[in-house]
Structure 1
Amino acid sequence: MTFNKKLNRYDADDLEKKSIYKSNSNFLNGELIEGIFFNAADGMVIFDESGRILEVNPSFCTSVHRNRHDLIGLTLEKLVPFEMHFKLDMQAKILKEKNSVRGVLPILVKDSLSYFEFTTSTLQKDTLFLSIFRDITEKRKLEQKVRKNEELYKDLFAEALDGIIFWTEKGKIVNANESACKIFESSYDDLVSKNINDYIYSKDDKFKKMYKNLFECGAIRDELVFLMPNGQKKSLEFTTKLHAVEGYHLTILRNVSDTRRMEKELRESELKFRKVFEGAIEGIIILNNDFKIVDINQAGEKLLKNLKKDLVGHSFTEILREFQLSDDEIQLYSTDLIRKGKATGTVEVTLRSDETKFIEFAAKHNVFSEFSLITFKDITEKLEMDVKLRKSDTLHVIGELAAGIAHEIRNPMTALKGFIQLLEDNIEEDYSMYFNIITSELQRIDSIINEFLILAKPQAVKFIERDITQIMEETVKFLSAQAVLHNVQFQTYYEKDLPPIYCEQNQMKKVFINLIKNAIEVMPKGGFVTITMNSASDERIHISIQDEGCGIPKDKINKLGQPFYTTKERGTGLGLMVTYKIVEEHAGTIEVESELGVGTNFHIYLPLRKKERK
C-alpha cells in the first residue's frame, strides 16, 4: 500500500506534510493497520504523553471540521473547553492505571460544542496513545429530548391535578392517572377494567345530544353527573378529544361538585338577600368606597322618586346636592361615616317634584367587601302626626282648663251684666263713655269664654248641604263696616254654579269671620282683601283669603293654629286655633302661603261630599 497515496487523498499538495507523516510512520506498521486507520468510520487520534496530537485520520478531521495539518501538533486541551480540562486529567490518570479508558468528551467544533464518545488505549507504555472518537451529539440531543418528553409526560399525565383517562372506541378505559383514580374513588386496576359509560348517572336526552355532538365535532367540553362505585354522585367538568393519542380517546376530568354546591348556596343566599333587599319597607342604598351608588331597592326608588337606572353609578354626594342638602351637612355626615364607621340623622330634602320630605337615615361603613350601607325612611307624616298629637294633647289640657275657667268666670260675668243693665238708666251722661267701654269689654270676655267652650267640649253639629257662596257673601257683608273703618276693600271672585257642600253653616261662618278679620287687622294702613272660591280638581272646594299685610316668616307658619300663638299684640291665638279645629272637623285642610312685605294667603280646601270622621 502506498502511504503517500493515502496522504494525497486529503493533503496532497504539501511536501512538508509528507515528511511529517514519514517521521511518524514508526507507529503505523503494516498496510492492514494503515488501511484500518485511514478508512475507519470513527475518528482516530494518536497523541503522546503530553497530549500533543501526532496523527489523525480523515474521519476525525471531518467530525471536527478541521484540516489534518491544523490538528497535528495541537494538544487535546485546545480542542476541549477549559471547564472540561479536568476530564483530560482524569483520562490520563486512568490510562496510567488501566492502559485504557472510556467516556464522553465535549469538543469545540467551529463555534458550537459537540459531544464525542471515546475509547483510549495505550500504544507504547506512557508515550503513545490511541483514541477512537464517535460523534454522539445527535444521540445526546435525542436522549435529552426523550428525557424532556418523559418529564413532560410525568407533569402532564402522571402528576396532573386533573383526572386523565384514555379509552377505546367502545368506551373501555385503558389508562388513567392517579388523579382520575381519586376522582372515581377506585384503584388503577379497578378503573381500567371498567367502561366509561358505567359511570354516567343518567343517559338522558342531554347525554345523547352531547354524545352525538362529540362524534360529529371530534371534541367537546361539557359537564355531567357521574355515579361513583360507592353510590356517591359527583358533578364532573370534562374535556374529551377523539383519537388524541395512538388512536385512543382522551378525557380530562375535574371534580366541580363542591364548586357547584357553593355556587348553589351562593345563589340561594343572594336570592334571600335580594328578596330581603327588595322587600324591605325602608329604602336601602349600597355605596362603594368612592361614594358611588351600587344598588338601591324599590322602596328607595319610590321614596326618592328616582329610578334605579338613573341613580346607579352616580355620585351619592352629587345626588344629595340635587336634593338641596348643604355642603356642610354632607361633609358632617360623610366625616362621621368614615371616621366613626357610622352616621345617623334626619335631613330635609327637596325632591325633583319640589316636594319637601324629612328623611331619617342610618349609615354604616364597610358593611361587606368595602361597601357601605344606608337605610332611610320618610318620617314626614310621622312628624306631622307628632305635631298633631302634641296639639291634640295641648287642646285636651286647654279644654279641661278652659271648661273650669269658663264655668268660674261666667257666674260673676252674669252678675256684672245684670248690675250694669240696672245702672244703665241711672248713669249720668258724663259717665256714659265708661259704661260703653265696660259693656264692650264684657262682650269681649264673653266671646273669649265662648271660644274656650268650643275647645272644651265636642260640639253637637249637624252637617247639611249648604251653598258655600251664600255663606261667604253673608260673612263679607257682615264685616263690610269693619273693613270701611280700616280703609280695607274686598275683592271677590266666585266661580259660578259652585256645588253645595256638607257643613255646619254657623261654624263655617266663624271660620270665614276669623280669617277675614285677621286679614283686615294686619293692614292698619288699608289695602285689599281678595277672596276667591272655585272648584278644585279632586272633588273639593278651594277658598282663598289673601291680604296685603306684612307677611309671616316661614319658621312661624307651622306654628299657626297652636294654642295661644298669635302675631297680634292683644290676640290670644284662640280664634285661629278654633278655625283650624272647625276645618278639621269638616274633613278639610288649611294651607298657608306668605311672603314678608307682600302678604299672606290662607287656602281652605273643603270636600264636596260628606266624609265620616275616623
Structure 2
Amino acid sequence: MTLNKEKRLKDVEQTLKKSSLNEKLSKDLYKDLFIEALEGIVFWSGNGKIVKVNEAACRIFESSKDELVTKNLKDFVYLKNYKFIKVVDQLFERGSIRDELDFLMPNGQIKSLEFTAKLNSVDGFHMTIFRNVTDRHQMERELRESEMKFRKVFEEALEGMILWNKKYEVVDINQVGMRMLHLTGKSFIGQSIIQMIEDYNVNKEELYRYFEELRDSGFANGVLKINVSTDRKIYIEFSAKHNVFSKLSLISFKDITEKLEIEEQLKKSDTLSVVGELAAGIAHEIRNPMTALKGFIQLLEDSIREDHSMYFNIISTELERIDSIINEFLILSKPQTVKFIRKDITEIMKETVEFLNAQAVLHNVQIQTFFEKGLPDIFCEPNQMKKVFINIIKNAIEMMPEGGMITVLVELTTDRRIHISIRDEGVGISKEKIKKLGQPFFTTKEKGTGLGLMVTYKIIEEHKGSIRVESELGVGSIFHIYLPV
C-alpha cells in the first residue's frame, strides 16, 4: 500500500512538473510568436471587430491597443471597392487567404499591407497577420521610374550606347549606336561585346588594354579606329563605366572622324599660313638678284663663244628652274587674285594629258583616260587646275622608273561632286607618309622640295574641294580629287 502511494505521489509530481514545463513553453512560444513578432497580428470576430492585437499591429495601424480593440477592420480598409468584397468572399469560402490591400491609417496615411488571414484560428476567433509593404512598393516604384528615365536617356541620347552584363554579353544598344555601327536587327544581343568590337578590325592589343583598364579601375575612355564597311573607316571616341545600373556596364561613343579631319585641316592651314609668310619673304629676296642675273645673261648671250654655249644653256635652264620654284613660293604666300569661270573639267584634263604625253613616252609610261559624258561645268581657275593635274601626273610618272600605266578617271558622284582619280602602278607610299602629304617640304622623292603637293593641296582647298590618297607599297597609288559642281 505504501509503495503504491509513493508511486502515485511520484506520478502526480511528474505530471505537475510536465504541466509547468508545458505552460512555460506555451508562454515562451506565445511571447515569441505573438507579442514579439515583427508582423502585426490581429484577432477579430466574425463581423470584423478587433478583439486582440500585438505591438507590431499597433505600430502598423498607428494606434494604441485600447484604440484598436474599439475598431473594426473595415474601418481601416481604403476605398472599400470590389477587390475588398472579393477578398472577404474568398476568405469565408476557402477558410484562409493571402493578398494585399491599401489601408487608411487614423492620421490619413495610406499604407499597402500584405496579409494572411485564417478563419477560426484560436478560440473561435479569426486571425490576420499583416506586413507593411509600403516602403517596398515605394522602392519598386522608384526603381521603375529610374529604369524608365534611364531607358529614355538611353534611347534618346545623341551618342551611341551599348549595355552588357558581367559575362560581357551585349544586352542592348540604342538606335544611334546601331546607325553609327551600321547594325540592323537584334542578332548581336547575347554576343560578346569584345568579339563584337573585334569584328570591326580594331587594334586588338589596344582593345584588350582598354578592357583591362575597365576591369581594374571601373572606368576607361579613349579613341578607336574601326572599319564600318569595306570602304569606310571612322574614329570613335568612347567612355566606358563598369556596373552602372543593375549590374550592367555601359559604353557611350560618338563619331569624331569629321572633328579630327577639321583639326587636321586647321593644323595644315596654320602651317601653310606660316610657310606662306616665310615664302613671300624668301621669294622677294631671291627675285631681285635673279632679275639682275637673267638680265646680264641675256646681255652676254651674243658674246658667248660656241665652245661655252653648253654652260650658257645650263645656267639659263637652272635660272628658269629657280624662277619656277619662286613662283610656287608666291602661290603659297597669300591668296592670289583668281578669276573663277565656268569650265568643262574634261577639257582641262584632256589638255593636261596632251601636254604631258611626250614626257610620259620618254619614261615608257602610257596614260589612259575615261571621261563620263555630260559632266556639269565647275567654277574654277583653269590654269590652277592644270597645275594640280600636272603635279600629280608628273609625280605618278616619276614613281614608275621602269614604266607602266597611268589611269585617269573623271566622273560624277551620287552626291553631285566631280570625282577625278589618277592611278599609277608605281612603288607606292606607306601609310605613315600618306598622312604627311601636303605638309611643308615633305616629299617622297629623293630630289624633291615638297612644294608641288603643297601647292596642289592649297589650290584644291581654295576650290572648296578635297584630296584623298590610297596607296599600297609595291602596287601603286591613287589620288582622289573631289570638286563641287
After superposition, give the CA deviation of every residue in 1:207-231 in whole Å (9 maximum; x if it has no partner).
2344245426746544333222233
Give the AA of the match of 2:282: I
Q: Distance in 1 between matches of 2:411 and 2:207?
A: 44
Q: How far apart are 1:568 and its partner, in Å?
A: 1.5
Do residues 208 (structure 1) and 85 (structure 2) align? no
Aligned partner (choices 189, 198, 213) of residue 66 of structure 2: 189
Report the identity percentage: 62
After superposition, give the CA deviation of every residue in 1:526-581 in whole Å (9 maximum; x if it has no partner).
22221122222221222221122111122212221212111122221111122122
Do residues 396 (structure 1) and 270 (structure 2) align? no
Do residues 589 (structure 1) and 463 (structure 2) align? no
The answer to whether the 8 A contact 1:296-1:308 is kept is: no
Aligned partner (choices 102, 106, 130) of residue 229 of structure 1: 106
1:573 match: 450
- Please state whether the residue corresponding to 2:9 is helix, strand or coil: strand
Higher relative contact order (CA 8 A, sep 6+): 2
1:452 match: 329
Distance 1:352 1:142, change over 3 A: farther
Q: How far apart are 1:398 and its partner, in Å?
A: 0.4
Listed as ranges, the matches of 1:507-522 within 5 Å are 507-522=384-399
Q: How far apart are 1:182 and its partner, in Å?
A: 2.3
Larger mean CA deviation between 236-245 and 528-537 belongs to 236-245
Do residues 505 (structure 1) and 379 (structure 2) align? no
In the alignment, structure 1 segments of 5+ residues that lack a partner are 1-45, 52-90, 106-116, 119-135, 609-614
Distance 1:270 1:497, change over 3 A: closer
Q: How far apart are 1:401 and its partner, in Å?
A: 0.5
Q: Distance in 2 between matches of 1:189 and 1:258?
A: 27
Q: Distance in 2 between matches of 1:144 and 1:565?
A: 103
Which has the greater radius of gyration? 1
Q: How far apart are 1:446 and its partner, in Å?
A: 1.8
Q: How far apart are 1:191 and its partner, in Å?
A: 1.2
The answer to whether the 8 A contact 1:237-1:255 is kept is: yes
- What TM-score comes out, normalization by structure 1 length? 0.68
Give the AA of the match of 2:461: E
1:463 match: 340
Do residues 255 (structure 1) and 160 (structure 2) align? no
The answer to whether the 8 A contact 2:84-2:101 is kept is: no
Aligned partner (choices 470, 473, 476) of residue 353 of structure 2: 476
Q: How far apart are 1:395 and its partner, in Å?
A: 0.2
After superposition, give the CA deviation of every residue in 1:310-348 in whole Å (9 maximum; x if it has no partner).
455433332343233455434444444445565554433
Distance 1:302 1:221, change over 3 A: farther
Listed as ranges, the matches of 1:156-171 within 5 Å are 157-168=34-45, 170-171=47-48
Give the AA of the match of 2:449: T
- What TM-score comes out, normalization by structure 2 length? 0.85
Larger mean CA deviation between 315-324 and 145-154 belongs to 145-154
Listed as ranges, the matches of 1:140-539 within 5 Å are 157-168=34-45, 170-203=47-80, 207-212=81-86, 214-215=88-89, 218=93, 221-240=98-117, 250-277=127-154, 281-285=158-162, 288-294=165-171, 296=173, 300-306=177-183, 309-339=186-216, 343-351=220-228, 355-363=232-240, 374-539=251-416
1:103 match: 9
Q: Distance in 2 between matches of 1:358 and 1:542?
A: 24
Q: How far apart are 1:475 and its partner, in Å?
A: 1.2
Distance 1:173 1:370, change over 3 A: closer
- Please state whether the residue corresponding to 1:601 is helix, strand or coil: strand
Q: How far apart are 1:253 and its partner, in Å?
A: 1.9
After superposition, give the CA deviation of every residue in 1:319-378 in whole Å (9 maximum; x if it has no partner).
343233455434444444445565554433333566323344455556688765555444
Distance 1:285 1:188, change over 3 A: same
Q: How far apart are 1:157 and its partner, in Å?
A: 4.6
- Please state whether the residue corresponding to 1:351 is helix, strand or coil: strand
Q: How far apart are 1:521 and its partner, in Å?
A: 2.1
Q: How far apart are 1:274 and its partner, in Å?
A: 4.5
Q: Give the alignment's Cα RMSD to 1 decimal.
A: 3.7
Larger mean CA deviation between 539-548 and 363-372 belongs to 363-372
Q: Distance in 1 between matches of 2:23 and 2:186?
A: 62
Give the AA of the match of 1:596: L
Q: Distance in 2 between matches of 1:504 and 1:512?
A: 13
Distance 1:367 1:534, change over 3 A: closer
Distance 1:104 1:307, change over 3 A: farther
The answer to whether the 8 A contact 1:398-1:456 is kept is: yes
Q: How far apart are 1:181 and its partner, in Å?
A: 2.3
The answer to whether the 8 A contact 1:295-1:308 is kept is: no
In the alignment, structure 2 segments of 5+ residues that lack a partner are none
- Please state whether the residue corresponding to 1:347 is helix, strand or coil: strand
After superposition, give the CA deviation of every residue in 1:98-141 in whole Å (9 maximum; x if it has no partner).
xx674354xxxxxxxxxxx69xxxxxxxxxxxxxxxxx99xx99
The answer to whether the 8 A contact 1:488-1:526 is kept is: yes
Distance 1:211 1:250, change over 3 A: farther
Distance 1:567 1:352, change over 3 A: closer
- Please state whether the residue corresponding to 2:418 is helix, strand or coil: strand
> How many aligned positions are there?
482
- Please state whether the residue corresponding to 1:479 is helix, strand or coil: helix
Do residues 602 (structure 1) and 476 (structure 2) align? no
